[in-house]
Structures are given as structure tokens and as C-alpha cells.
Chain A
Amino acid sequence: DVKVTQSSRYLVKRTGEKVFLECVQDMDHENMFWYRQDPGLGLRLIYFSYDVKMKEKGDIPEGYSVSREKKERFSLILESASTNQTSMYLCASSSLRKTSGPYEQYFGPGTRLTVT
């Protein structure tokens, strides 16, 4: 079974703090993703990575950065947290190998971040 874990389930930070969200997958997947989920907006892609040290912006990258130093680990960084970054953050991974299915993504349990 694919397992995607996220470092925290709940996090409360203050405005202006630097925030790190960590994600680890154990299936040797090439692709990793960070989304945020907000009511009425669904899942919106922040950043994704298709290989170590490689990253591409998603639909809403402003205010975020990412780091992928190892294949299994993908970090989301909020350089200076703001209240509008209060959200549920979901990490996902997927494989490039066609035999693994229709490129479905496997999600972690999410981190509920509150910025006060």
C-alpha cells in the first residue's frame, strides 16, 4: 500500500512566521504535489516536483516555496505566513510508470494550518 505521511495534522502559527510542512512517501514515486483545499474551491495545486531538485509552479504558488532534496521527501515552505494562508494542506505523490494505473495521485492525511 502506498503511504504518504505529513509531519503535522494540526499547526497554529503566527503571522510573519516561517512555516515548514513536510511530506514523505514510501513508494518511490517520481512526482510529488502540494495542494491546498478550501471550501468551495476544491483542491488547488501550489507546486509540484517531478524529480529531485526539480520543481514547477502550480496554479497558486504566490507566498510559497518548495524543496525536494530526496526523492521521498517534499517540503512546502511559507516564508512569512499570512492569515489568508490558513487552509488544509494536502501532499500527494504519483508514479510516472504507466503500469501503475491512470496516474492517480495518492494523498497524505493533510495538515490543517491556522495562521493567527
Chain B
Amino acid sequence: DQQVKQNSPSLSVQEGRISILNCDYTNSMFDYFLWYKKYPAEGPTFLISISSIKDKNEDGRFTVFLNKSAKHLSLHIVPSQPGDSAVYFCAARTHPPNDYKLSFGAGTTVTVRA
């Protein structure tokens, strides 16, 4: 049973507008959340993360919001650019001793239209 869920398989957005990607989780032991970006024929690359003690983390055009009570996080990309077209995976890490493992969502494919 997937503990990290990305319920939107795809998202299409106009260049310059905001992209909002959502992720829900079920395991209350998750204490760190990460977003990865993946281009075709390449491995995923780390994008941004957030600790469970925070509710927001910002890095340039990327902001991740965490709502622990709702077990929900979102990734905002503002403004969206054509190079942002990729698959985005949400991932979560649990407390030790299993903290070396990440649980991944199914991914959301983002297409940025010119």
C-alpha cells in the first residue's frame, strides 16, 4: 500500500503562471519530505526538502508547504518555465532506524506551455 500519494498524474500550465503539485501521506512517522524532478532518460534529481518541524521552505522559484495535520504537502513553482517540464516525485523519510529509506509517490508529469 502506497504511503505517499500523488493523485494528479499530470498537470499542464502556461509559462509564467504558478504550478501547484500536491502530495498526501498516510504514515505519521514521516519526519522529512523531499521533492525530486526527473527528465526523460535521466535519473531523478533532488529539488527541495522540508522537515516536519517546519511548514514552509523556499528556494528560488520553488516553495514547499507542509500541513502536518492534514498529512499534505505541496510544491509551488512560480513562475513556471519551459525547463520545468518534467516528472515530479514526492518522497518521505521516516524516523530511525529506517531513516535511510525513502517512500516515493507515483509522480506528477508537469507540462509548461509556451
Residue from B4, B6, B46 with most neighbouring chain A CB atoms (10 Å): B46
Number of interface residues of B (CB under 8 A): 26
Give the tally of cross-chain contacts (CB within 8 A).
59
CA distance A100 to B101 in the complex (A): 16
CA distance A25 to B77 in the complex (A): 31
Q: What distance in Å separates the Cβ of B97 from its nearest Cβ neighbour in chain A?
A: 10
Which residues on B sit within 8 Å (CB–CB) of A42? 2, 4, 6, 89, 104-107
Selected contact of A90 from candidates B43, B46, B51, B107, CB within 8 Å: B43
List, sorted by A's number, 8 A–B pairs whose CB atoms are closer than 8 Å: A4-B43, A41-B106, A42-B89, A48-B100, A102-B32, A104-B49, A105-B46, A107-B45
Q: What distance in Å separates the Cβ of B57 from its nearest Cβ neighbour in chain A?
A: 10
Query: If A42-B105, A42-B107, A102-B32 touch, does A108 touch B100 (CB 8 Å cutoff)?
Result: no
Whether B99 sits at the interface, judged by CB under 8 Å, is: yes
Query: If A50-B100, A102-B34 touch, does A40 touch B43 (CB 8 Å cutoff)?
Result: no
Which residue of B has the minimal Cβ distance to A96? Answer: B100
